[in-house]
Amino acid sequence: MSLFIFFYKIIITKTMQPNLKQLHQSAIHSLNQGKIEQAHKALVELVTLKPDFADGYFLLAMVNLTVGQIHKAIKLIEKALTLGQSIEYTAQLAKCYALTGELQKAKNTALSVPLKQITKALDADTLGVALTQAGIHEHALNYFECAIKLATAANKAQPPFYYNYGVSAKFLGLFDKAQHAFENAIALNPLHHQSHFALSDLTKVSKQNNHIERLKNVFEQVTHPDAKLHIGHALAKEYQDIGEFSEAFNALEQGKVAKRTVQPFDHKSSTELFEHIKRLSEQHTQALTQGNPTAEPIFVLGMPRSGTTLVERILSSHSNVQSAGELQDFGLSVKKLSQTQTPHVLDTQTLSKAYELDFNQLGSTYLNATRVITGSHKHFIDKLPFNFFYIDLITKALPNAKIICMLRDPMDTCIGNYRQLFTINNPYYAYSLDLLDTAKFYTRFYKLMQHFSALHSNIKLVKYEELVAQPEQKIKELVSFCNLEWQEQCIDFHLNTAPVSTASKVQVRQPLNSKAIGRWKAFKPHTDKAVEYLLKQGISIE
């Protein structure tokens, strides 16, 4: 729990009965110390003795949020708000809605709090986070700016406030503001690893002007695996900028090794998942129920760093197509309707159960969940790369949707994934902590895509290299595949001003070029084991 919450809560307790006051203070202290069980025990006793005490329910919600029980946290915050209005409660509720994929509720809840009414920087920052997760970047930036102003006025400026503002500005293409924000965060805390990485990722450095020595010093000082990972990636990016590719690879390896120890990739589970998906698609060639007939969605998917954002920008330049970003909604809809009690959104049990669903309901549930972002456009793009796991279910739930799968040179894809700092605690990305693991994951992906492309007619496989070499022809083919009329602005996609919230946010604002093709070769001989593995699997490399 934050110190902001701690000081606020102590003020509340002054008006309470001695025993209740003691329980309240004990719960807050336990939360601040990370003693979750003690906090839970005190809070249960507190709300039992005083069932109309709003803050007791709110703190219970924070306990549940801490242990990942987000739906329980939502119910408890909603209960607290029936007993007393609070911007803090509302901010946390908006964040919880966003975490569960209820984006319309997250947006409405967050925007129900006018900026002028916010008095605590942490509340403004939390609301900004909720809006960011809901894809409402323009509004999020205003709340992050509010957080910085309030914290500065109270002489309590904190690096995370500047970092969140910088990330939001970066999404919106406000690169100068983003750079300034990241530097401010580092000035406040020279070891703020997230800002170091974000700054290196934002700007291209030169041999004369870089942060390499600063980053090397920070790397030696930080100890947490996540911090090592961030700084290793930052160093690698800057070494690559100045053409020192071997140093870049070594920095990546040094940064990833500690994280790999605490979060190893589970090859057994990964293999079982891919095999299970293929087996289910073979067993259920005919859907038991009709899907939703809409042709609104265009799914752009594939391995990360394979050109999905490029295709998204091209198609969203069309007047009838809106980019919705990387939506989690299809997987969340499958999980919600399947009602499995497994801890992960994507697993074999949930996928098996999904084939028993009413596919029209699944398609409709997905569409309704996207409305906060997609509105009423004729078509929208869902660009979540890992939707490839759901291709067979998508074809059944949304039979008229178009699916575009990007394929890129295997080693360019593998190096691109290895170089990318993904969501650090997401187990689905753990393969990217090791280049050979990445090659193994790519192999499973590639073979599954060959299977699906032979099985379904509404899937188009697009090779990144061909798109770069023959842009006008290939872009026209993409537009035609999506049943869209040709519009010239699709060629000038780099002029598209819509926000970009992925790793390609800087590159896609530039004209099409071939600079990234064959990039993996610069990392030889570090790539030898991955190349050998792919070739043994029968996968050709350019």
Distance CA 449, CA 447 (A): 5
What is the fold of 276-508? Rossmann fold (3.40.50)
Which tokens is 465 given?
């290299």
Residue 389: other Cβ atoms inside 10 A:
22
User: What is the Cα–Cα distance from 536 to 530, expressed in whole angstroms?
Assistant: 10
Give residue 422's identity as a one-letter amino acid code.
F
Cβ atoms of 199 and 184 closer than 8 Å: no
What CA–CA distances, in Å, run from 157 to 131, 163, 183? 21, 11, 13
Element (H, E) at 166: helix 159-171
DSSP 298: E
Size (the chain), residues: 542
Decide: 433 and 414 in contact? Cβ < 8 Å: no
The pTM for the full model equals 0.86
CA distances from 145 to 94, 106, 117, 123, 150 (A): 18, 19, 14, 12, 9
Distances from the Cα of 168 to the Cαs of 15, 161, 372, 477, in angstroms? 40, 11, 19, 34
**Termini Cα distance of the chain:** 51
Domain spans, the chain: 276-508
Letter for the amino acid at 67?
V
d(CA 19, CA 46): 9
Backbone angles phi, psi at 323, to 5 degrees: -85, 125
Q: What is the pLDDT along the chain (542 residues), one digit of tens a residue?
A: 333 333 344 444 444 555 888 889 988 998 888 899 999 999 999 999 999 999 999 999 999 999 889 999 999 999 999 999 999 999 999 999 998 888 889 999 999 999 999 999 999 999 999 999 888 899 999 999 999 999 999 999 999 999 999 999 999 999 999 999 999 999 999 999 999 999 999 989 999 999 999 999 999 999 999 999 999 999 999 999 999 999 999 999 999 998 999 999 999 999 999 999 999 999 998 877 899 999 999 999 999 999 999 999 999 999 999 999 999 999 999 999 999 988 889 999 999 999 999 999 999 999 999 988 887 789 999 999 999 999 999 999 999 999 999 999 999 999 999 999 998 888 889 999 999 999 999 999 999 999 999 999 899 999 999 999 999 999 999 999 999 999 999 998 777 665 554 545 455 445 677 888 999 999 999 999 999 999 999 999 98
